[in-house]
Homo-oligomer: A and B are copies of this chain.
Amino acid sequence: MPHPLDTFFAPSSIALVGASRDQEKIPGRLLSMLRKNEYPGKIYPINPNYPDIDGLACYKTIGEIAAPIDLSVIIIPARAVLGALEECAAAGVKNCVIISSGFAEEGGDSAAMQDRIVEIAKRTGMRISGPNAEGFMSEVQKVAATFSPTVDVKPGHVPLVATTRRVGIVAQSGGIGFAIKHRAKAIGVAISYCVSAGNESDLGAGEFLDYMVQDAATDVILLFIEGIRDVDKFLAAAQRAAEAGKPVIVTKVGRSGAGVRAAASHTASMAGWSAAYDAVFAKYGFIVSNDMDEAVAIAAVLASNPLPKGDRVAVLTVSGGAGIWGADTVSMQGLQVPALSAGIQSEIKQWMPSYGAAGNPVDVTAQGVSMGGLQRSIELFDASSEVDATLVIMSFSSDTRMPFKEAELKPVISAQNKPVVFYSYTLPSEFARRELAKAGVVILSGLTHVGVAMRRLLEYSRFKLAPPADAASLPARDLSAHLKSPRMSEADSKALLREAGIALPDEVLVAGRDALDAAIAKIGFPLVMKIQSPDIGHKSEAGGVRLNIATKGEAFSAYRDLLESVQKHRPHAAIQGVLVSPMAKKGVEIIIGTLKDATFGPMVMVGFGGITTELFRDVTYRPAPVGAAEAEAMLGELKAAPLLRGFRGAPKADVAALAKLISQLSLLAARLKDEVSELELNPVLVHGEGQGVTIVDALAVRPK
């Protein structure tokens, strides 16, 4: 299927604006890289100072070239860039990459120049990547439109390629993007493209991601971002990736205070709030990794294996100690290393000496290797119903010896039904990498990364894009009457929720002592009384709450006390009255909230009450709205989730009712995104199965 960026990534012709004869400097290196990597299309160097460069005719201006130009790579001083862009547009150039620095990242006048670039792109329809970009490399079409030293090809170098499936890399930072490529290629992972986004004046990471998602030559995507600017394109690409089942491994930096501070200045990006990013990643099944080698290991495992059907791992080794370490490592990731049946053990024992171990980890020993025990065990596990994946743990450091014969291993790997992951506890030799690459095997050398990668593979195999929220579960109503005041009390907030269709307990707002009797008659004992004022956020701290009131006498004195206490603590607060509510029956305490993220808009949050949220940070987020299924998935992510499943003999909680409430609140937050900045239900009590939930307190916050 054609994509608008096809001429960008696979240009038939490239103009180099600012080409140079000096290959030691960046402008000169661009031409040299294109040719070393055997770019098959036309190259037009542009530089008024040379008649020719390296055997190619050199043009004074882009207008001189009387031929169509798919891509213009611009590497000239910042002040000359705008003029060059206008010339490119006039000449009908389809795409530009601006390598030059000195725009938004410098601020002031330089930032204003970047605004002009945006304007040119919009006006002319020419697509522009950068400025401050490191360009891109297409290994599919042999386009090295970058000065990155990592694409410098040494004469006679034969690339190591172990995987048939290819990994595409999209990175806002060129340094990181090409470093990921460097590491991936070193272990034999085939690459389709590596593109750096730079300042993203026009083309952004979201649109590049979209290209990789739709590109048939890309099977797995590695994404490195500081902050997304083209949010809508990014979200559309994420949705497509999830629908197509194309895995995206994402690293998002700018998570710490210092990281955010730096990201804000670097390429002038908005690092944003990382919890919101993680929520979006979770929604689309993106695989998050904060470490480069880990991310590459995950990509390597995805590019060279089918997805597992379960969590049971066979650990196969020749070193007892390494086997135990491997079993520990995958177990710590929550995978199973089951003891094998007597039947399968006796089969394995044929291929190992008496001091081997057939339990799991399976230690065939060095002698077992010469008996063919390794590859026979791999075959056996691949066919067995007892395990879902195999982890092979070996020393692959030798420059001369291989524990496998290519002719024997290759058919086993080609026919594999389950993941088979290879780890070397010694540093693997280049010889071993190349020998195993012939059978389609990547050797990994970080054991923790292997464990994480196998875990992520399982999670990815289980991921399902949640069905969208059911808008009908919250009827469309005009809520404007409830959204007039700039600050809202609990009673105001609950009135809004009730009107929107969210179920709440019957409550009475008592504005004067005379109305208290009727309220008590309606609510019944025991009851709760809470002062109501849009000016008082924390009612308890202002002495504004009385619980468990059991008699009329208590109720009347509580009414008086509440007003007196608030009068003392907050003399200037506007008092609406006292809210009389029934004491809620017991339940598991939950907090549900919504807020608005600067990048992704409304988000919904859920966590348990008490100290779990504050001390253990046991909360989870999703972009709003979520459906009930996604809400249940959120609850399942919480460490304290067992509290809902009948903990210590308690009855199972009404998770269905809770999930419905989360979904409804998230729908409301999405509908009112411009009128309400935060909604908080805290606490919500979740009763036993079939008994529903009770919203005890609620607050809506209006935008400032």
Residues of A within 8 A of B (CB): 101-102, 105-106, 149-150, 171-176, 178-179, 182-183, 186, 224, 226, 251, 253-259, 261-263, 265-267, 271, 290-294, 315, 318-325, 327-329, 331-332, 337-339, 354-355, 357, 359-361, 363, 395, 397-398, 425-427, 445-448, 611-612, 614-616, 618, 639-640, 642-643, 647-648
Contact = CB atoms under 8 A, between A and B. Distances in A.
15 contacts: A173-B320, A173-B321, A175-B322, A258-B360, A259-B324, A259-B328, A259-B337, A262-B320, A265-B359, A291-B446, A292-B425, A294-B448, A446-B446, A611-B643, A616-B616
A256 B328 contact: yes
Shortest beta-carbon contacts, A-B, top 10: A173-B321, A256-B331, A258-B337, A175-B319, A266-B320, A258-B327, A259-B328, A291-B448, A179-B425, A176-B321
Contacts of A323: 262, 266
Contact of A355 (B101, B256, B426): B101
A290 B324 contact: no
Contact of A176 (B175, B224, B425): B425
Given A324-B254, A331-B258, A397 B150 contact: yes
Of listed A178, A294, A323, residue having the most chain B CB within 10 A: A323
B448 A325 contact: no
Nearest to A361: B262
B257 A337 contact: yes
Given A183-B426, A253-B321, A253-B324, 6 more contacts: A106-B354, A175-B318, A226-B324, A258-B338, A259-B325, A262-B361
Contacts of A172: 321
A253 B643 contact: no
A615 to B, nearest CB: 5
Contacts of A150: 397, 426
A67 B496 CA distance: 98
Contacts of A262: 320, 323-324, 327, 357, 359-361, 363
Of listed A294, A324, A426, A612, residue having the most chain B CB within 10 A: A324
Contact of A332 (B224, B290, B355, B640): B290
B261 A448 contact: no
Contacts of A398: 149
A175 B290 contact: no
A321 B171 contact: yes
A179 B226 contact: no
A620 to B, nearest CB: 15
A639 B612 contact: no
A251 B405 CA distance: 33
Contacts of A319: 173, 175-176
Of listed A263, A292, A611, residue having the most chain B CB within 10 A: A611
Given A325-B176, A331-B257, A448-B291, A267 B105 contact: no
Contacts of A614: 648
Contacts of A267: 320
Nearest to A616: B616
Contacts of A357: 262, 265-266
Given A176-B322, A176-B325, A320-B267, A355 B615 contact: no
A329 B290 contact: yes
Contact of A182 (B178, B354, B426): B426
Given A258-B361, A611-B612, A639-B615, A293 B446 contact: yes
A288 to B, nearest CB: 13
